[in-house]
Amino acid sequence: MKTVLIAGATGYLGRFLCEEYQRRGWYVTALVRDAAVAKTLCADQLVEAEATVPKSLAGIMSGADLVISALGITRQADGLGYWDVDYQANLNLLHEAEKAEVGRFAYVHVLNADLMPDVALVAAKAAFVEQLEESPLTKTVIAPSGYFSDMGDILSMAQAGRVWLFGNGSNRINPIHGADLAAATAEAIKQEKPWLDVGGPDIFSLREVAELAFASCDVPLRITCLPDAVRRAALWLLPWVTPRKVHGPAQFFLSAMALDMVGDRHGTHHLSDYFKHSVTAPAARTTLHQSPSKRSKS
């Protein structure tokens, strides 16, 4: 049985990766900070470690065929920033994987990172990818366009009665469901692809996403498009007037809104269904999957 270690296993994508690889018959080791709160993961083994502390990683990848890191933070908190986690913690994982001589190291990055060099979250991820490219390990980089869960901000605005966009809302995106992204990641790794720009099956303009959100929550359509100069001014101003846990993700969101975030089309889940389900059962967005089955490693 092949073995995979998944870092960031308790995050949105990490949970789907654990489930996907267990479904494919792999022995899944999940790297977690607290095993007590990760019992519902679809994993054969939970390993407690702090990726920000290199010595805690010693030996955990011994015998692993594959390491996948979906490790990263959206909001900077607990004294940790993007360079502590998205860069250094992933670099710690990579160094340990090199010591263990794992078969492949896969990393979940972000689409169009080269177009957002001044965004702190993206810069930290891109700097790690540069280190990964220099590693002797075989590697796969997955660059998703955006998650369905990211579109929740637009749905929340629609539920509140108005969606605010910049420019004319014509920039395009094909966000992807976590289950579809996990499957696409596993296939890219299976096919030994070095890089995959990936998105969901449906391409929307941001205005169309907003229209879909209003339709899903049965609220009258109210979309206000602000001049793009307002977005640029907000990017400059936010670091001065908001804490970093706020301006970090806002900087990424505002920057990505000015780009076409469209990756190769994968998957079967549709944003319309996700919106409708989120409206009728909000808790479903964070519902955990079935309890993990227990299998022996062979």
DSSP assignment of 57-92, as one string? GTTTTTT-SEEEE----SS-BTTB-HIIIIIIIHHH
Residues of the chain with pLDDT under 50: 283-298
CB 169 within 8 A of CB 207: yes
Gap between the Cα atoms of 228 and 128, Å rounded: 31
Structure tokens at 207: 């205005």
Q: Residue 31 has what pLDDT?
A: 96
Q: Residue 3 has what pLDDT?
A: 98
CB 136 within 8 A of CB 120: no
The closest of 73, 65, 254 to 153, measured between CA atoms, is: 254
Q: Residue 239 has what pLDDT?
A: 81
Planar angle of CA 132, 120, 108, nearest 5 degrees: 40
Q: How far, in Å, are 98, 185, 201, 224 from residue 191 at the CA level? A: 21, 10, 20, 44
Contacts of 97 (CB under 8 A, 6+ apart): 61, 64, 67, 105, 137
Exposure string of 11-38, with b = 16+ CB inside 10 Å and e = fewer, is bbbbbbbbbbbbeeebbbbbbbeeeeeb
Q: Residue 77 has what pLDDT?
A: 62
In this structure, how many other beta carbons lie within 10 angstroms of the beta carbon of residue 49? 19
CB 22 within 8 A of CB 4: no
**pTM of the predicted model as reported, rounded to 2 decimal places:** 0.90
Gap between the Cα atoms of 293 and 167, Å rounded: 49
Contacts of 231 (CB under 8 A, 6+ apart): 166, 167, 254, 257, 258
Q: Residue 78 has what pLDDT?
A: 66
Q: Residue 104 has what pLDDT?
A: 98
In this structure, how many other beta carbons lie within 10 angstroms of the beta carbon of residue 239? 15
Planar angle of CA 126, 192, 85, nearest 5 degrees: 30
